[in-house]
Amino acid sequence: MLKILFPMFVMLLLPKMTMTFMSHTIMNTFLLLSIFSLTTLSLSPHICISKFLMVDSLSSPLLLLTLWISALMILASYKIIMMKTSPLLFLQLIMILNIILILTFTQPNLLMFYILFEASLIPTLLIILGWGTQPERLQAGMYLMIYTIAASLPLLLSIMMIMSLNMSLFFPLYLWSTPNLTILWWSATILAFLTKMPLYSLHLWLPKAHVEAPVAGSMILAAILLKLGGYGLIRLASLSQSTNNKFMPFLIALTLWGAIITSFICLRQTDLKALIAYSSIGHMGLMTAGVMSNSSWGYEAALIMMIAHGLSSSGLFAIANSMYESSHTRSVFLTKGMQAMFPFMSLLWFLLSIANMAAPPSLNLIAEISLFSSILFTSLFTSIPLFLSSLLAGAYSLFLFTSTQHGHPSIYQTPTFYASSRNMMIAIAHLFPLFIITAKLDISTSWLL
């Protein structure tokens, strides 16, 4: 895979190639690589490609998601390429970010995983600062860097301590002679991942980053970068089951009530991107609770939720951007009446909205049912917050759909641009795997064998 991506990056340095041809070439290569990556989904649980690369059935679905979303990022950012707003630098940053993410998901060394985990912030920050439209993007970038770097420093200290005690930093972690971790040490280990997802109370950087980022930044942030936290948490969850059990009641309670609070915040949002961003906090909170349940069922459900949320949230950001390009506003009070003019785009909005609320036959439904089962196994008292979070998720998803599709259209909209074939193809490309993977769920469970 890297043998293809590195020559593509070198191709970006050639000055005589047109941006349109270059963007189409990179986008098609990402799509082909994602199709070829389907063959890795049936691999045995652990395949060491080399001393420095490892692919298993936990990382291969996330690799596939990375390549798929990257191609759609370029397609959704077609306006940047056509308007000549530094398109070469933009494509270079996307390529660099893809190489970093691929190396992160295939890294068997914990220290290199930490370095690549932090390196993904640099191209993301440059995309937000370079192609964000509001002056507040500087503040959003500062929040992003301070939160993630400050939370990652304890992880570096924990890695150094693990190295001194075990003399090895290589996955799989169950081969380690792991010491009995203290609560303080374990909290330092997982704090970086909880901030990256993000956990409620550590989430203030996420809405700011989403609102100020261009559509490509929002798509890659919601679909992939948040999943780095979940991926690291699942990888390290087996480090100490006994210490993890001590954290379980506190973290499950915090994530579930955080999901309820962010759902109420979503119902009061007037900005489309802020609403979708806050909904991500609730969904990733459920994923965290599933991992903290310390069961194979919870790990399986967490991976399914990461894939489902990556597709649905990225699709919502892409289709919200298409509405912003036509109306030049993200206010739910000014973007109305699209159902009467373009019923097919309204259908795509509806399908993405019901996927966000975990309605059948979407992959989100399978993820939430599995997560509810694993969380209820820890305590039946979690049934009330689980019920409320599910109910409120349906409420704000319907609010998102009805506020944009019903009512009288605004006179400031240019609906022809909104209903272009490009925007339709982006939405369909998100929906197709979201509903098709439901029939092939063993791709997310084989890594537990």
If we measure between CA atoms, which residue out of 23, 86, 79 comes closest to residue 418? 79
Is 318 within a domain? yes
Mean pLDDT to the nearest integer, 305-326: 91
Domains: count for the chain: 1
- Dig out the tokens for 50 from the structure: 């080399």
For residue 1, tell me if it sits in a domain: no
- Model-level pTM? 0.89
Q: What is the model's pLDDT at position 32?
A: 55
| Residue 38 domain-assigned (yes or no) | no
Q: CA Rg, the chain, in Å?
A: 21
pLDDT single digits (tens) 184-222:
777 888 889 999 988 888 888 999 999 889 999 999 999
Q: Which of 16-20, 278-282, 342-346 has the weakest average pLDDT?
A: 16-20
CA distance 162 to 168: 8
Give a yes or no: residue 28 inside a domain: no
Give the pLDDT of residue 181.
Answer: 60
Burial class (CB in 10 A: 0-12, 13-18, 19+), 384: exposed
* Within a domain: 23: no
Instruction: Count CB-CB contacts under 10 A for residue 449.
Output: 8
Does position 132 have pLDDT exceeding 50, yes or no?
yes
> Is 13 domain-assigned?
no
- With respect to residue 31, please indicate whether it lies within any of the assigned structural domains: no
- In one-letter notation, the amino acid at residue 233 is L
Look at residue 134 and tell me if it is in a domain. Answer: yes
Q: Provide the residue range defining the domain that includes 148.
A: 54-448
pLDDT digits (tens, 9 = 90+) for 148-189: 999 999 989 888 887 777 777 776 554 454 555 677 777 888
Q: What is the pLDDT of residue 5?
A: 53
Count the Cβ atoms, other than its own, within 10 Å of residue 419.
17
Token pair 């008292």 is found at 381
